[in-house]
Structure formats: C-alpha cells, structure tokens
Chain A
C-alpha cells in the first residue's frame, strides 16, 4: 500500500515536472507544476505530515501557481516563445549534458546511500501531534528565522510595487548641478 502511494505520487511529481519543461503552452506548463506540487503533497501525507500537505496545496497550488497563471493570462504570453534562436550553439548540448549528469550523479548517490542512512525518529501521527510538533519547533528553535521572514515579505511587497510602478521617480527630484 505504502509502495503504491509512493509510486503514484512520484509519477505525479515526475510527470508534472516533465510537463513543466516540455509543454509548449505556458498555461499547460503551469498546470504541470500544479500536478508536481500535488504529488509532493501526497508524499507529505504518506509521511504523516498532514499539515505540510495542506499548506503545500493551499499556498503553492492555491496561491502561487494561480498568480503564475494570472500573469500568463494577463500578459497574454499564450503562444510559445520561439526557441529556435540560440545565441551560443554549444549552450544547449552542454546544458543537456550537465542536467543529465546531475540527475545521474544524484541517483547513484541516493541508491548507494539508501541503506546506510539511519531511520529518523518515528513520528507517529496521532491526532494533531504533527502540527503541534511543527509549531513548537517553529516558535522555539526557529523563531528568529520565522519572524525575520516577515521582514522578507515586506521587502518583497514594497520592492515589487516600486519596480512595477509606471511613473518613474519622484516628480520633484532636483536635477544635478
């Protein structure tokens, strides 16, 4: 049963990821991303991390990819970009080699390491233990990083608004003498 879930979720993740890079239409790519994120959410559920699964769906699938779609639809980049243009001809084969090489190295490393990694502490999900554990960790050991993230969000909002404003610079700016 566990294996079945794992295989299905992994198929979702990989299929979605392939879809993201292979689809010609950006909207389809975004949908591939959603599929990947769902697969990850399923993995989380299989690992008894229910809260993370829900947050994964709500935040990533529900908000972030929707915003992607928004941008795609509003900017009207429905048609695929012309991929024929290639500045340096060596780039693409090189990228392919590096990509495949990385995948190969990581897979070999994972396969060889598989049996030697010790099992983690058993997290039995009884009731909402998982959520409590997560929040405890977040609000004790990681509390500073957690709080500082709010500054990060403010920066992101403030900066984005300014960079996308049409009007350029304060009107009353003095000219250099």
Chain B
C-alpha cells in the first residue's frame, strides 16, 4: 500500500475535519542534491539563529530588568550595549578551565553537553515561519524545493520536545553530582526533583492541546489553529495555557522557581564548580531553553507562525512577501513571552521549596488533569452526539466530587501528620 494511499485514509478520520497531511514535502521525492542543500541550509540557519538569539536574549533580559529597576544596563559594547554578551562570551572563553579534585572527570566533562545539546535539538521541530497566505499551509519554496520552515517534522514532533527536556535533566543532575561538592549536589537534586515534578503538569496540559488538535506533529498543531477563535489558547479554554506557562517557568528553573540557584542557600547552584567554556555552555543552554520554551508555547497555543485571522481574512503585513511574514509573526509572538519571563524575574520573589512542590503536585497537576478529562469528555460527547451542556454539567459535577475527595484526603493526611509529629 502506497504511502499516499495510507495517508488518504486518515483524512476523513481527523477530529477537526481539516486535511492535515503532516510531514515535510521536501523529503517525499528522491533525495537529490537540492533537498540536501536545503536541509544543510536549515541546519546552519537554526544553529546560527540559536546562538544569536541566545545572545540577544541575554542582552534583552539585562536591559529590560535594568529598565524596570531604573538603571541603564549594559550600554558600552556596541549600540545599546548589544554586544555585551559577545564580550562576556569572549571573557569566559579565555578564563581558566578548572576541574575540581574530587570531581568525576568523565561525567564532569559530559554534563555541559547533556544540557546544551537538547536545548539545540528542540529547535529542529519548531515551525519558525512559513507562507500561510492563499492556503499554502506554511509551505515555502527554497531552491525550487517545496518545504516547511522547520528543520524536521516528525509525526511525534511535540514528544521530541518532552524527550529532550527529560534529557536536559541529566545535564543538571550530573553536573551537580560530578562536582564532588555538597552545594552543587543539593542544587542539582533540587533541580531534577523540580523538573520531574513539573513535567507531569506540563505533559498533562500538553495533552489537552493534543486532544483538540488531534496530532502530535508540530506543523499539524499549527495547521489546526487557522483563526483566532481556533487558537488552542481558546479551544482548550485558557486553563491549560496558564498551567503550561507556570510549569514551563518551573521547568526552566527561572524565577520565581529558581531554587536551583538560590544564592543565599546554595552558593551558586549546580554549576558552582564550573568555569570557562563549560560554564558558558550551561549559561547558553539556560537562556536558549527560555527561548525554545516560549517558542513551544507559541506553537502550541498561539498558532505558531500563522498570522492572526478572523474567519477567512488574515491580518497581513503590507510590503513583506508571504514567505517571510510567518517568521515575523512568530518572532512577534515570541517576544511577548520572552518579555513575560523577564518581567517575572524582575518582579516576583522566589518560592520556598515546599511551596514549590505543593503548587506542582497539589494544584497544577490536579487542575490540568481535571481539565484534560473535561475536554476529553466533551470530545467523546461530541462524536457520540450527546448534549454538550449535559456532558459538561455531569463532567463538572464528577470532577467536583473528585476534588472534594481529594481535599478531604489532603486534610486528613495533614491532620495525621500533625498528630504523629515530626516523623517524616
């Protein structure tokens, strides 16, 4: 059975009814020179953009925080101090590379790469742009080849992101452990506990998106968000978006969830013993993760590079060719979230560790799970032709009951804990 025939089988079956043949048309044909060159160009662009974007992000963060604190911020290197990061990078590059005596040499050297590589790899599945005018569905033509503006479009796209974020845990965890020093170890244990805890909430709110989009492919998710009303932000009912944003902040170990590097308690966190280029790699990975996570939020909830549209009329930017327009929209949406993260850093105090865990396990996970079940119930009711209102009411009532049981259980257990004293 030919591939295209198989693909055709799915079309009538898709939840939103939109014809979504995911995958990149670039690789459908025989693998000739032109597609290879296109792929090579994409790899290069992503690599360069990733690095430059990170440089920009560091500068942006310093500048915005400075503005919020009524300071000037970096302003000497280059116009507006934009080359400050480059200068810092060069400085780090020339610093002495220390390797602690008690360090586990192999793992100590391995850890920065485990943090850095996944951060880069996530970029490969994010739709960075595309031509969405005239029903072209994000396909652009480069060197006579039809292709998507993303490096790869595997059918499991968004799972790759989760997989990479779970590998990034290793980088942090092993960095702390292999330093052979106590504060980095504490920092890394905190970090990995935090990341694992919030990955559950992250995954559950992601599942809400997958239920409405009906596909795991990133380009498919973008394709399902044609108009403003069908942005997943709206179709999943805002709650998964909020949960995702909070959980993502925690995944990134960014303020107010930056207990990993709480200076007062841990000296500097898991990377205390690192210096020079290895430190630079952690630093880069951290800021790059911020950008990728924002890009994922944009892809999942805000239609990615798609221009905002109401009905059939899309908002178009005059004078810019359609092929570039997607990228511009993408960057604009991205900047909103980057600013949001910086804003959080400048304004919110850090959480205590138990507050962090309570928020993750007792608030975010139940909420996102409940919301996911509600969405699933609506979907099932939809395909079986049940009355929507009845479905929602029944679902809400049973969720409410579940919530009551849950709080009752929590109350009893905390009462028992009080009675038994400090046995834990």
Interface residues of A (CB under 8 A from B): 25, 27-28, 31, 34, 50-51, 53-55, 57-58, 61-63, 66-67, 69-70, 73-74, 122, 124-132, 165-167, 171
Contact = CB atoms under 8 A, between A and B. Distances in A.
Interface string B172-195: 011001000000010001001100
A73 B189 contact: yes
Interface in B399-424: 420, 423-424
A116 to B, nearest CB: 26
- For A69, A128, A165, the residue with the greatest tally of chain B CB atoms inside 10 Å of its CB is A128
A54 B160 contact: yes
Contacts of A31: 107, 174
B166 A58 contact: yes
Contacts of B21: 127
A27 B107 contact: yes
Which of A27, A50, A127 lies at the interface centre, i.e. has the most chain B CB atoms within 10 A of its CB? A127
B3 interface: yes
From B155, B189, B216, name the one whose CB has the most chain A CB atoms within 10 angstroms: B155
B60 to A, nearest CB: 30
Interface in B134-179: 154-156, 159-160, 162-163, 165-167, 169-170, 173-174, 177
Contacts of B173: 66, 69, 73
A58 B174 CA distance: 18
B23 A57 contact: no
Contacts of A62: 162-163, 165-167, 169, 199
Given A127-B23, A128-B217, A58 B192 contact: no
Contacts of A124: 1, 3, 6
B7 A127 contact: yes
Contacts of A70: 189, 192-193
A57 B169 CA distance: 12
A171 B416 CA distance: 11
Nearest to A62: B166
Given A57-B167, A128-B215, 5 more contacts: A58-B162, A61-B163, A62-B169, A127-B21, A129-B7
Contacts of B90: none
Nearest to A25: B104
B340 interface: no
Given A51-B159, A70-B192, A129 B167 contact: no
Interface in B68-90: none
Contact of B104 (A27, A50, A54, A69): A27
A167 B420 contact: yes
B317 to A, nearest CB: 32
Nearest to A76: B185
B159 A58 contact: yes
Interface of B: 1, 3-4, 6-7, 10, 21-23, 104, 106-107, 154-156, 159-160, 162-163, 165-167, 169-170, 173-174, 177, 185, 189, 192-193, 196, 199, 215-217, 420, 423-424
Contacts of A171: 420
B6 A131 contact: no
B366 to A, nearest CB: 15
Contacts of B104: 25, 27
B128 to A, nearest CB: 21
Contacts of A122: 1
A66 B7 contact: no
A131 B216 contact: yes
A74 B189 CA distance: 8
Interface centre among A53, A69, A125 (most CB of B within 10 A): A69
Contacts of B199: 62-63
Contact of B196 (A66, A131, A166): A66
Nearest to A57: B163
B192 to A, nearest CB: 6
Task: Give the 6 A-B CB pairs with smallest separation, nearest first.
Answer: A62-B166, A54-B159, A57-B163, A128-B155, A167-B423, A126-B3
B14 to A, nearest CB: 10
A7 B414 CA distance: 54
Give the one of B21, B159, B189 with max A CB within 10 A: B159
B101 to A, nearest CB: 15
A73 B169 contact: no
Contact of B155 (A28, A61, A125, A166): A125
Contact of A131 (B7, B155, B167): B155
Contacts of A53: 156
A61 B166 contact: yes
B6 A66 contact: no
Q: Which of A25, A51, A58, A67 has the most CB of B within 10 A?
A: A58
Contacts of A125: 155
A48 B424 CA distance: 47
Contacts of B192: 66, 69-70
A124 B291 CA distance: 35
A73 B3 contact: no
Contacts of A58: 159, 162-163, 166
A27 B185 CA distance: 13
Nearest to B13: A132
B156 A54 contact: yes
Contacts of A57: 163, 166-167
Nearest to A67: B196
